[in-house]
Amino acid sequence: MDKRIQFSVSGMSCASCVGRVENALNKITGVTKASVNLASESVSVEGDANLADVVQAVKDAGYGVETREVHYQVKGMGCASCIGRIEKAAYLLPQVINANVNLATEKLTLTVLSEPAFDELSHVISEAGYALVEPVTPNEQQNTSENLPIYRREWFAPAASMALTLPMLLPMFGLLFNFHWMPPAWVQWALATPIQFYFGARFYRAGWGALKAGVGNMDLLVAIGTSAAYGLSLYLWWTFSAEHGQPHLYFESSSAVLSLVLLGKYLEHRAKRRTTSALKALENLKPTTATVWRNNTWQSVAVSHVKSGERIKIKPGERVPVDGVVLSGQSQIDEALISGESVPVYKTESDKVTGGSVNLDGVLEVNATSVGAESTLAKIIRLVEQAQGAKALVQALVDKVSAIFVPVVLVVALITLLAFGIGTGDWTTGILNAVAVLVIACPCALGLATPAAIMAGTGTAARFGILVKDARALEQATSIDMVIFDKTGTLTVGKPELSEMHAFNATQQDALQLAASLQQYSEHPLAKAIVDKAAAQQLDYLPVSDFKVVAGRGVKASYQQNTVYLGSTFWMQELAISLPDLPTQIPGASLSWLVSQSPNEQAKVLALFYFSDAPKVHAASAVTQLKQQGIKVAMLTGDSQTSAEYIAERLGLDEYQAQVLPEHKAQYIAQAQQQGYTVAMVGDGINDAPALAQADLGIAMATGTDVAVSASAITLMRGEPSLVASALTMSKLTYRKIKQNLFWAFIFNVIGIPLAALGYLNPIIAGGAMAASSLLVISNALLLQRWQPKA
């Protein structure tokens, strides 16, 4: 059935834009009509096309589509087959671009054009057999549970159910020693009935929802299996003659299965909460109040009400409430949970502080720069949530298997029943074996295998300052065999000093003053070194104009009708400027030439500047760690050949290339990819963004620019090259856990279902095995929390 979608598009400026967007949309399969209104900047699409394809087509045409993410908690999920049903239901809403369900967190994440009405979304989810609730924070979930009456708390159902089951299970052990303690039939019935229909009611409700939706799930399997055992017991009790003693009933089987499944779900839920411990730890870093200077006095206000530009006081022992810059005071700041840096960092005037870190010993006054959703901590939490909610590529296969798994199990159970009933005439054994098949086949472990490992892995990595954007980055990291580093700020400290200068056609003071005047507007590390040197000599800026940054080369401006250039040797050669011989050779130094050119006259070289930037302390060990993993390590830099050669030799790089322009970095990576390498690029500057995007895996230092961070798939909260090796190692470990978990989830069913069908597993053992499989995959994933990066 055709549907009509309307949404806004940004970036259209003329009539040609209308045709471009319409042509792009009409090429999509399923689009019957597409029209664009330039005045309202809106698009209307009719047909049954996939909305994600429609949005992508508009973006590929060069225009913007505003989308947003919304999150909801979903109740009633039991296994992997639930994921597909909920996502399919969500896609019934016309504004949903993408739906993603995480079984481990029981969260539904929607990418939408506009937020759907809660009642409308709740209706389609309930039609699929589930309940939608608005999201709450981890702390609220915990407190809500603690404040509930005892009979509604998580642990009560498995505890009470197990207590009622024990009087029926304990006599079974007595039979091993020829003792007959089994309670009378009416007592067994009295114990089993509340377990079956009160504590087990959740399975009937969820199973009925699945039936209404025309699909199957774990709850349906449990409901059918235990009902069969309970019903068989009623039948045998009703038809048994009192003259023959006590009937052999199976109330204990149905009760034990339900109790074990309830206990397994409770333990599973507790274990799943541990996988989100890193996210909870980050959430707990958020202070609730801040001391703000308002109306000529210090006031305590909610952090959510703090505005950018306000003055904040932070006392010893308090958490920093917002991102900011220190105005006065000095102190040690503990940033361990933000950056993974275990050693406190000294902060004084003009230093940046990050919200969520702890002020240890001094009083600081801070100017708030980023508050609320724009703070570093809020961005970190969003990244961790995004990574933990993302699906690995292998999960697509799991979802497909889960979709057909339950119907296949029902068929196997029916075949088992008929084979024993018709083949041997023993319908009782047939029913019990069919029940065992239904119970052991519950695909809980299958649905938890991937998200549990991703949540544990990304959460642990976040503790050490490694932020992974999505599960695809984890998978890509496992195949990296070449890592390319930028030099300045990545392998080197990134704070070069002006170590030496030589003047040619000007005094040193005049040359330095002119160079500083050119560089006063630049953010490049070399520019800051010149500006700092001029400031130390108290030199004023000269009136330059027409300032322009020439990417990868240097800067130029106008001064007294002359064009002044300050940049690399490579740029001077491009400009055909004749350069003198180097007066001094300084190993590893970067060079910048100051040149002035009058109209219709030959350019004059005014000065040569030498900049020294030392390698980072752990850069050499980082290169060694990567090589030990069998990874080729290279470096790209816009600096001179001598500077690049010096750093490459000191760090033991396999390959390097100097005087590389930003656009050529991406070309170099493309060439490496054509040679068969899977490339990771590590950078921190604006000029690294194209290369980060071109690489198979972009890794950015958070100490760099926002552009570089946004273009990367992994962000390192500390500017430590050694974290690159740690990030790749953690990714490989996480992906290994995913494969291990999927193996165990499948092997339980591959071995267990045939054994149950052949009568080698009774329903009680099958129920225990099913619960054990879920706990096994979660416990295996939790082992990732023990990982620590190499010192």
What's the average model confidence in pLDDT over 545-550? Answer: 85
pLDDT at 140: 42
pLDDT at 753: 85
The tens digit of pLDDT for each residue in 369-393 reads 888 777 777 777 776 666 656 666 6
The tens digit of pLDDT for each residue in 395-434 reads 666 666 766 777 888 888 888 888 888 888 888 888 888 8
Q: How confident is the model at residue 704 (pLDDT cuts 50, 70, 90)?
A: low
Q: Global pTM?
A: 0.65
pLDDT at 465: 82
Distance CA 253, CA 503 (A): 93
DSSP 690: H
The CATH architecture assigned to 3-60 reads: 2-Layer Sandwich (3.30)
CB 273, CB 127: distance < 8 Å: no
CA 421 → CA 389, 408, 484, 755, distances in Å?
46, 20, 67, 17
DSSP 492: B
Q: How confident is the model at residue 147 (pLDDT cuts 50, 70, 90)?
A: low
Residues near 577 by Cβ (< 8 Å), separated by ≥ 6? Answer: 565, 593, 595, 603, 605
Distance CA 682, CA 714 (A): 9
Classified as helix, coil or strand, 333 is strand
Mean pLDDT, all residues of the chain: 80
CB 316, CB 362: distance < 8 Å: yes
The tens digit of pLDDT for each residue in 328-357 reads 998 888 876 666 566 688 888 888 888 888
The answer on pLDDT for 276 being more than 70 is no
The tens digit of pLDDT for each residue in 645-688 reads 888 888 999 999 887 877 788 889 889 999 999 999 998 766 67
CB 689, CB 661: distance < 8 Å: no
Joined tokens for residue 82: 């639930």
The answer on pLDDT for 292 being more than 70 is yes
The answer on pLDDT for 756 being more than 80 is yes
Distance CA 570, CA 404 (A): 63
Considering all CA atoms of the chain, what is the largest pairwise distance in Å, rounded to the nearest integer?
A: 125
Residues near 376 by Cβ (< 8 Å), separated by ≥ 6? Answer: 323, 338, 354, 355, 356, 370, 702
Higher pLDDT, 697 or 773: 697
Phi (first) and psi of residue 347, to 5 degrees = -125, 140
Number of helices and strands (H, E) in the chain?
27, 29
Distance CA 212, CA 290 (A): 52
Question: Position of tokens 């020829």?
Answer: 178
The domain 68-135 is classified under which CATH number: 3.40.50.2030, 3.30.70.100, 3.40.50.10490, 3.60.20.10?
Answer: 3.30.70.100
Higher pLDDT, 76 or 562: 562
425: amino acid identity, one letter: G
pLDDT at 675: 92
* Domains 68-135 and 497-612 are alike in CATH topology: no
The answer on pLDDT for 482 being more than 90 is yes
Give catalytic residues, as residue numbers. 486
What residues are paired with 10 via a beta bridge?
64
What residues are paired with 74 via a beta bridge?
132
SS (HEC) of 632-682? EEEEECCCCHHHHHHHHHHHCCCEEECCCCHHHHHHHHHHHHHCCCCEEEE
Classified as helix, coil or strand, 481 is coil
Distance CA 14, CA 336 (A): 52
The answer on pLDDT for 623 being more than 90 is yes
The tens digit of pLDDT for each residue in 3-35 reads 777 777 777 767 777 778 778 887 787 777 878
CB 677, CB 481: distance < 8 Å: yes
What's the average model confidence in pLDDT over 543-558? Answer: 85
CATH of segment(s) 465-492+616-729: 3.40.50.1000
**CATH H superfamily, domain 497-612:** Calcium-transporting ATPase, cytoplasmic domain N (3.40.1110.10)
CB 34, CB 25: distance < 8 Å: yes
**How do the domains of the chain map onto residue ranges?**
3-60, 68-135, 289-380, 465-492+616-729, 497-612
Instruction: Report CA 138 to chain centroid distance, whole Å.
Output: 17
The domain 289-380 is classified under which CATH number: 3.20.20.10, 3.40.50.740, 2.70.150.10, 3.40.30.10?
Answer: 2.70.150.10
Of the ranges 92-106, 236-250, 259-273, 441-455, which is most confident?
92-106
What's the average model confidence in pLDDT over 591-600? Answer: 88
Q: Report the candidate in 437, 441, 407 with the shortest Cα–Cα distance to residue 228.
A: 437
